[in-house]
């Protein structure tokens, strides 16, 4: 069996596909279909595109209106509400509004006044969901599916690859990973060190399912020696503290990603919470201590 690597840029990051198959043409056909599906999802749910489905919803949210959505979007909103409940309100797709206060391109903290002005418009409980209708109870709200969109795309990419005939492969969308099929040997995945991006802090084996990581190192600012990450508590409007990185391994990438983010949002309690769920995970806390269910090797071989 031959390995075929395809690389492309989507969803704000570098992506890759690795397909194990003797047929180069099959691998190419699968890669084209996967890239097309990822592009479709990005076009529908990007907050940067004025013609996206997400922008259509947010135009109505801005006036406190009501919107009917299609089945795919309804599934994502339904899942977001489940995450909201599972996290006791910490995982909240309305909290993206806080970016109006937080600018991670400059090393300046927002004022308490800036955050206080946004908090009344944040809270998924302020929107009523009766599938397929979403009604915003407060004008000026918005939703952001960035916390689940890339993971959803990774799962869809794996489904598309499988449907085209790929029986063994790996989808990597900027670190959100999903296995296609199941090979004889597991894939070995290096988990990025949150303070040394050029090396892995641990290598895990993944025979099936998905893997996702949430951390404080992608977007952050440092002020007076303290790091403030983009992972914000929707109740206070301020970044959470306690964990540097959380990786979760699960049956699919979507669930792994949301659990990783929920753990980050729980701060120092995140590792114990994941342990109580019985899921495979790796964490590094603010004191550089590594824990979780996986072996502590950093021998990256691929």
pLDDT tens-digit readout, 56-71 = 999 999 999 999 999 9
Cα angle 50, 235, 283; round to 5: 90
Q: What is the mean pLDDT of residues 89-118?
A: 95
Percent residues over pLDDT 70 in the chain: 97
Q: What is the mean pLDDT of residues 97-108?
A: 92
Average pLDDT value over all residues in the chain: 95
pLDDT at 297 over 80: no
Q: Where are the domains of the chain?
A: 3-41+151-292, 53-143
Instruction: Give the span between the Cα atoms of 51 and 106, in whole angstroms.
Output: 29
pLDDT tens, residue by residue, 16-42:
999 999 999 999 999 999 999 999 999
pLDDT at 266 over 70: yes
* Best CA proximity match to 269, nearest among 242, 236, 230: 242
pLDDT tens, residue by residue, 130-157:
999 999 999 999 999 999 999 999 999 9
Q: What is the mean pLDDT of residues 37-52?
A: 97
Read off the DSSP letter of residue 127. Answer: E
The confidence score (pLDDT) of residue 115 equals 98
Residue 300 pLDDT class (50, 70, 90 cuts):
very low
With tokens 């399912």, the residue in question is: 209
pLDDT tens, residue by residue, 178-214:
999 987 789 999 999 999 988 999 999 999 999 999 9
Top CATH class, 53-143:
mainly alpha
Element (H, E) at 207: none
The confidence score (pLDDT) of residue 184 equals 79
Q: How many CB atoms lie within 10 A of CB 277?
A: 13
The bridge status of strand 210-215 relative to strand 243-250 is: antiparallel
* Best CA proximity match to 11, nearest among 125, 173, 140, 208: 173
Q: What is the mean pLDDT of residues 234-248?
A: 97
Mean pLDDT is lowest, of 7-21, 81-95, 176-190, for: 176-190
Instruction: Give the span between the Cα atoms of 65 and 59, in whole angstroms.
Output: 9
Residue 1 pLDDT class (50, 70, 90 cuts):
low
The confidence score (pLDDT) of residue 296 equals 55
pLDDT at 226 over 80: yes
- Domain 3-41+151-292, classified CATH 3.10.520.10, yes or no: yes
pLDDT at 298 over 80: no
Residue 301 pLDDT class (50, 70, 90 cuts):
very low
* Prediction pTM value: 0.95
């Amino acid at each position: 069996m031959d390995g075929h690597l395809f690389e492309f840029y989507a969803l704000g990051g570098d992506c890759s596909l690795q397909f194990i198959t003797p047929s180069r043409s099959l691998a190419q056909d699968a890669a084209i279909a996967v890239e097309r599906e990822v592009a479709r999802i990005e076009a529908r749910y990007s907050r940067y595109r004025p013609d996206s489905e997400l922008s259509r919803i947010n135009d109505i949210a801005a006036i406190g209106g009501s919107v009917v959505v299609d089945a795919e979007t309804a599934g994502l909103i339904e899942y977001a509400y489940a995450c909201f409940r599972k996290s006791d309100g910490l995982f909240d797709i309305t909290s993206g509004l806080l970016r109006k206060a937080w600018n991670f391109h400059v090393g300046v903290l927002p004022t308490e006044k800036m955050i206080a002005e946004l908090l009344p418009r944040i809270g998924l409980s302020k929107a009523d969901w009766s599938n397929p209708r979403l009604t915003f109870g407060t004008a000026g709200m918005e939703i952001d599916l960035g916390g689940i969109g890339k993971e959803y795309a990774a799962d869809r990419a794996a489904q598309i690859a499988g449907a085209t005939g790929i029986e063994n492969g790996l989808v990597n969308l900027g670190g959100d990973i999903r296995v296609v099929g199941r090979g004889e040997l597991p894939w070995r995945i290096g988990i990025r060190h949150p303070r040394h991006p050029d090396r892995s802090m641990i290598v895990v084996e993944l025979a099936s399912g998905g893997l996702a990581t949430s951390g404080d190192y992608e977007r952050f600012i440092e002020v007076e020696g303290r790091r403030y990450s983009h992972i914000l508590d929707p109740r206070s409007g301020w970044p959470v503290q306690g964990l540097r990185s959380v990786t979760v391994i699960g049956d699919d990438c979507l669930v792994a990603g949301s659990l990783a983010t929920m753990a980050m949002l729980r701060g120092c309690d995140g590792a114990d919470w994941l342990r109580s769920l019985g899921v495979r995970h790796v964490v590094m806390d603010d004191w550089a201590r590594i824990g979780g269910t996986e072996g502590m090797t950093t021998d990256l071989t691929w």
